[in-house]
Structure 1
Amino acid sequence: MNNDTLSIIESYGEYTLDYFLDEGILKDLPIVGPAFSAIKTGKSIQDRIFLEKIREFIDNVDENIKWREKFSDVDECYKISKKLVYIIDSTDDDEKIKLIAILFNYYVAGELDKDEFLYLSSIVSKSYYKFLKTLKSINDVRFSNDGEKYDSSVISHLYSIGLFDYSGSTKAQMKEGKVVKLGSVIYNLNEYGNILKQIIEHHD
């Protein structure tokens, strides 16, 4: 996306979010209204795809009276909206954008703080969504990634994006001087993994 696409400025392009927003409360809300509506977009395919991503986000944001209380600080509203634009633009799946909107609803409701919301949104954006959804099937706080209970490739991916912490390793098993089972890494679901697991379970 070029610099013009991301400009949050006074003049609007031919196609802005006003094109997608219905009249009503959502149009006047901070971030979704004043900040995102000010994104100037051109006519390129890339810009149109970006607008579709923003629309997917908006479609999953709750209309909540707490908006005005949460974003009464204009400067803070701008900072958060700008970071959201970057995250949404880098996201490659509508289901992930929907999950980011759900995280945003938790943030507005005060169930996540700003850092938790932004970090979890970044994790979701970087994830492979099919693997991310398997969080709900992980029932162990700490486990060996030996492939016996969970797909080791899935677990390795979730570890790489920040949902597990390294917690040691198992030793190789020997029999008559030969290795019969290789050692494996032990992971534990961290704070962010637990939060995201609970949210996915609740909304899936």
Structure 2
Amino acid sequence: MTENRNKELSKSLIETLTSSNLPTIGSDIAEVTIDSVLKEGVLKDFPIIGSLVGIWKTGIAVNDYRFLNKLLLFLQESSTISSVKRENLIHKLEDDKYQLEAGEKLIAVIDKLETGSKAKLLGKALALFGNDFISNDEFWRVSFIIERLPMADIIALKNWRNTDLNQVFEIRRHLYLSVGLGWFVLDASSTGFCWQERLCEIFEQHLIVQ
């Protein structure tokens, strides 16, 4: 995704998240296609959809179909945040220290996600942040994990409490360590590899529940 396109979508995503009526997004996301958006004006009241339509007039790539699906699943899961809380959502997400643009970061993450299932997890994580269940730092750490870990390894976190990280298959353990879900304790009382309990709890209790 080009830088100009990213910035345009970033601005419209912020507007969509903060001022649109997200709960009106239907449950039949899988039936929404680019053709239906272009021809029927489906979801036309959402600024991010309007921006996408403008971009697609110059030509539609295969990746655009995947991006639309992931975006809608993300927005659908985010819709549990009340309109009042969504007004300040983006400001709370931004990191003033590094002057990072939250909308632009979200677009970049959504674009890189492998599947719609991951987009739903990201939307759930945003809802947790918007409803004050997790902090700014925890949201971005969780989004990093969702982006980088294979879905099978994310789902396996449901049983982390009953799993000794030292006994986890080496490749999977390396992945968990690389995204901050565990570390190696170097002291006299060390038990070796240990879980990052707070992050594991977020996935277990809120993101991958049945």
Match of 2:74 in 1: 57
- For the structure 1 residues 135 and 123, does the alpha-carbon distance in structure 2 shift closer, same or farther, using more than 3 Å as the test? same
SS in 2 for 1:53: helix
Equivalent of 2:193 in 183, 187, 190: 187
- For the structure 1 residues 66 and 36, does the alpha-carbon distance in structure 2 shift closer, same or farther, using more than 3 Å as the test? farther
2:166 & 2:130 partners in 1: Cα distance? 36
SS in 1 for 2:78: coil
Q: After superposition, what is the alpha-carbon deviation per residue over 1:58-93, rounded to whole angstroms, capped at 9, x for unaligned? A: 2222242333443485995x9322111011111111
For structure 1, the 5+ residue unaligned runs are 17-23, 170-184
Q: Tell me how far 1:38 sits from its aligned partner.
A: 3.7
- Checking the alignment, whether the CA contact within 8 Å between 1:66 and 1:108 is kept in structure 2 is no
Instruction: Note the 1:57-136 alignment, pairs <5 A.
Output: 57-63=74-80, 64-71=82-89, 79-136=101-158
Instruction: Note the 1:26-45 alignment, pairs <5 A.
Output: 26=22, 33-34=46-47, 38-39=51-52, 41-42=55-56, 43-45=60-62
- State, as a whole percentage, how many aligned pairs show the same letter: 18
For structure 2, the 5+ residue unaligned runs are 14-19, 25-44, 95-99
Match of 2:173 in 1: 155
Q: Could you say which structure has the larger radius of gyration? A: 1
Number of equivalenced pairs = 170
TM-score (structure 2 length as normaliser): 0.65
Q: After superposition, what is the alpha-carbon deviation per residue over 1:130-187, rounded to whole angstroms, capped at 9, x for unaligned? A: 011111112258x4524xxx43432222122211111259xxxxxxxxxxxxxxx821
Structure with greater proportional strand content = 1
- Checking the alignment, whether the CA contact within 8 Å between 1:163 and 1:189 is kept in structure 2 is yes
- Checking the alignment, whether the CA contact within 8 Å between 2:144 and 2:179 is kept in structure 1 is no
